[in-house]
C-alpha cells in the first residue's frame, strides 16, 4: 500500500472539508449581521465544495473579500482542531470496530438461542 | 464557534473517508486474488460511503468476513497516517491561502499595468 499517497489525498480531503466548514460558519455569521450577503454566499456555494481550492479560486473571481474571509476562517479552524484529530479518529475507529464485532456476536448468539429447548419442569 | 462540535464532526468525516479508502484498497487487492469477490464487493459498495458506520453495519449483514477485513484495514490505515495529518493539513492550507492571495495580487497588478505608458527613449 502506498501510505504516502493515501496520506496526501486524505490531507487534501480534510482541507476541503475544513473549507466547507469555514463557508458554513461564515454564512451563519453573516445571517446575523448581513443577511443579503449570507444569501449571496450561500447562492455561490450551492454545489457541494468537493474541491476547496477550485471553490476558492472561483469565489476569488466573484468576491475576493469573501474569499479572504473564508481562507482566514479555515486556517483558524485547522489550527484549532487538527492536533486533536489523530487521537479522536484512531479511538473512534477502534471503538466502532469493537461495537460492530459485538453486535455481530450478539446476532449470532441470538440466532443460536432463537429456538431454545423449553426448560424441563422441575422435578419435585 | 463550537470547536468541540466541529472537531467531532470532522473526526467522523475522516473516519468515514478512511473506511472508503479501506474499501477501495480491499477491492484492488481482491481484483488480483479473487476477481468475483472484488466484483461482489464493488457492487455492494456502489453508493458513495458517506457514513462509514452505516455502510459497515449493512455489509456485516451481507458478508461479515468482508466487513471484518475492511474494519482491520481502516484501523491499520488510521494508525499509519493519522499522526501526519495535522502538520500536512495546516501547512497545505497555509500554502494554498498564500497562493490564492498571490494570484489575486498578480491579477490586480496585471489589470493596473494592462495599458502601460511606453518607456521614454533614453536621452543621450
Question: In a mutagenesis test of the B interface, which of A20, A24, A81 is the best target, namely the one with the most B β-carbons within 10 Å?
Answer: A81
Residue B52 to residues A10, A52, A101, B14, B30: CA-CA distances in angstroms? 15, 22, 15, 10, 20
Per-residue pLDDT at B123: 61
Query: What is the model's pTM?
Result: 0.86
* Residues in chain B closer than 8 A to A67 (CB atoms): 100, 104
Cell numbers placing A3: 501510505
Region B93-115: what's the mean pLDDT?
88
What does the pLDDT look like over A57-69, one tens digit per residue?
A: 999 999 999 999 9
**Least confident segment among B25-29, B80-84, B88-92, B111-115:** B111-115
> How far off is chain B from A123, nearest CA to CA, in Å?
42
Cβ <8 Å between B82 and A81: no
What does the pLDDT look like over B3-61, one tens digit per residue?
A: 899 999 999 999 999 999 999 999 999 999 999 999 999 988 877 678 999 999 999 99
A95 contact B CB<8A: no
B90 contact A CB<8A: yes
Going by the DSSP 8-state scheme, the letter that residue B84 receives in this structure is G
Kind plus residue range of the DSSP H or E element containing A88: helix A85-112
Residue A35 to residues A32, A62, A70, B114: CA-CA distances in angstroms? 6, 18, 17, 36
Per-residue pLDDT at B50: 83
Per-residue pLDDT at B46: 76
State whether residue A55 is helix, strand or coil.
Answer: helix
Residue A74 or residue B121, greater confidence: A74
B91 contact A CB<8A: no
Q: How many CB pairs under 8 A join A and B?
A: 141
User: Which residue does chain B place closest to A15, by CA atoms?
Assistant: B89
A54 contact B CB<8A: no
B112 contact A CB<8A: no
Residue A62 to residues A39, A45, A59, B45, B52: CA-CA distances in angstroms? 14, 12, 5, 38, 36
One pLDDT digit (tens) per residue for chain A, 124 residues: 688 999 999 999 999 999 999 999 999 999 999 999 999 999 888 776 789 999 999 999 999 999 999 999 999 999 999 999 999 999 999 999 999 999 999 998 987 766 555 556 666 5
Taking the C-alpha atoms of residue B94 and residue A72, their distance in angstroms, rounded to an integer, is 10
Residue B123 to residues A75, B116, B117, B120: CA-CA distances in angstroms? 52, 20, 17, 9
Per-residue pLDDT at A111: 75
Share of chain A above pLDDT 70, in %: 88
Amino acid at each position: 500500500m502506498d501510505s504516502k499517497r493515501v496520506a496526501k489525498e486524505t490531507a487534501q480531503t480534510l482541507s476541503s472539508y475544513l473549507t466547507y466548514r469555514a463557508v458554513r460558519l461564515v454564512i451563519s455569521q453573516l445571517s446575523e449581521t448581513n443577511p443579503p450577503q449570507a444569501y449571496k454566499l450561500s447562492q455561490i456555494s450551492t454545489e457541494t465544495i468537493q474541491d476547496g481550492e477550485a471553490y476558492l479560486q472561483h469565489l476569488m473571481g466573484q468576491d475576493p473579500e469573501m474569499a479572504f474571509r473564508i481562507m482566514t476562517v479555515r486556517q483558524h479552524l485547522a489550527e484549532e482542531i487538527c492536533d486533536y484529530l489523530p487521537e479522536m479518529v484512531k479511538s473512534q475507529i477502534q471503538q466502532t470496530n469493537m461495537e460492530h464485532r459485538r453486535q455481530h456476536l450478539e446476532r449470532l448468539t441470538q440466532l443460536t438461542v432463537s429456538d431454545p429447548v423449553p426448560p424441563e419442569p422441575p422435578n419435585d
